[in-house]
Amino acid sequence: METEVWAKNMDAANLPPFEVCLLNNNMAVRRALENVHDALKPLSLCAEDSENIELVLAEVLNNVVEHAYPPSIKDGDIAIRCVHKDDGLHWKIIDEGVALQKTIQALGDPVDLDVAFDDLPEGGFGWFLIKTLAHDVSYTRQNGQNQLSLRIVVGETA
């Protein structure tokens, strides 16, 4: 009896799945990150977990805004879906832009800083941050949609 009640409470502790939608522009990304932050409030995440989520999602969304939709499309839809499971927050970011041009495996190598001053990199950090802070990063393309999936662990101290 007691085990059942405890198990029920554990299920209730997981946040119900939610979705945040936005259009493909930078200010919409800011608002979406705020909406995600608000949706996660019941979890009372520590600062570092919140930061990880914000940074990973910012990088993923920036990629979509920058590369998935061409500049002429101002109203491209992007959906962020979140499912809270025992092993962390499972995210799916879906858009209807052009397909990712590289495999996930090929993306996100550490950027080489051992270069001349004028060759110091001004970009290329995004995928590295995503793959460093998130687990199980994977990509599929179905029915004209890009779907990026990843998992962010929360509630553990480093």
Q: From the list 27, 75, 103, 142, which residue makes contact with another protein (rule: CB under 8 A)? A: 27
Tell me if 121 contacts another protein by CB under 8 A. yes
Judged by beta carbon, residue 30 or residue 102, the one nearer another protein is 30
Reading the block at residue 58, the tokens are 């910012």
Q: Does 128 bind another protein (CB under 8 A)?
A: yes
CA distances from 40 to 54, 82, 117 (A): 11, 10, 41
Helices 126-133 + 47-63 axis angle, to 10: 140
User: Alpha helices, DSSP H only, in the chain?
Assistant: 2-13, 26-39, 47-63, 126-133
Greatest distance between any 2 Cα atoms in the chain: 68
Q: Which of 34, 38, 51, 87 binds another protein (CB under 8 A)?
A: 51
* 55 binds another protein, rule: CB under 8 A: yes
State yes or no: residue 118 binds another protein (CB under 8 A): yes
The arrangement of strands across the sheet holding 88-95 comes to 18-23, 77-85, 88-95, 145-152, 135-142
Only segment of 4-12, 98-106, 121-129, 148-156 that touches another protein (CB under 8 A): 121-129
**Residue 68's closest CA among 96, 92, 30, 91?**
96
Q: What angle do CA 123, 79, 26 make, to 5 degrees?
A: 40
Minimum Å distance from CB 117 to another protein? 5
What are the E-state strand segments in 50-132?
77-85, 88-95
Q: State which residue, 52 or 146, has the beta carbon closest to another protein.
A: 52
Minimal distance, residue 33 CB to another protein, in Å: 9
42 part of the interface to another protein, by CB under 8 A: no
> Is residue 18 a contact residue for another protein (CB under 8 A)?
no
* Residues lying near another protein in the complex (CB under 8 A): 26-27, 29-30, 47, 51, 54-55, 58-59, 62, 65-66, 110-111, 113, 117-118, 120-126, 128-129, 132-133
